[in-house]
Amino acid sequence: MTNEDLINIAKNARKNAFANTTGYTVGAALLAKSGTVYIGTNVEEYSIPGLSNCAERVAIQSALSYGEREFEAIAVVGGKKENEEVDNTLVPCAVCLQYMLDICKNINIITYIEGKLVCNKVKDFLVLPYEFKK
């Protein structure tokens, strides 16, 4: 599966986002090493914002609930609900980056930066990552 394939799956997933508070919809497509792709969308909870969830974490949690533990890549796209075009500067939030660092730190993150499709690692976004030592 190509990076562009994953981006297109994320774009399609984005259509199902539940973003009634901000109107900013995000879709994610997570490729497990098994070859299965799991999707996620952002889900906003307006009365208690802490209950909201990002598309990346929804996709990862879905995969984990099916027993997946190894991941290749995650594609993430987002933008205003009324606009089919995706933002060219969207990157995962710090909470999602920390989540990925804890669960799948070697995953490839595919997104648009400055209008170009790019692939980075979690540590490319985190200058001083917090890694829990057991």
Three-state DSSP class for residue 18: strand
Which of the residues 45, 56, 84, 85 is marked catalytic? 56
45 is catalytic: no
Which residues, including other chains, have CB under 8 Å from residue 75's CB and lie 6 or more apart? 3, 6, 7, 9, 10, 28, 29, 110, 111
Catalogue the active-site residues: 56
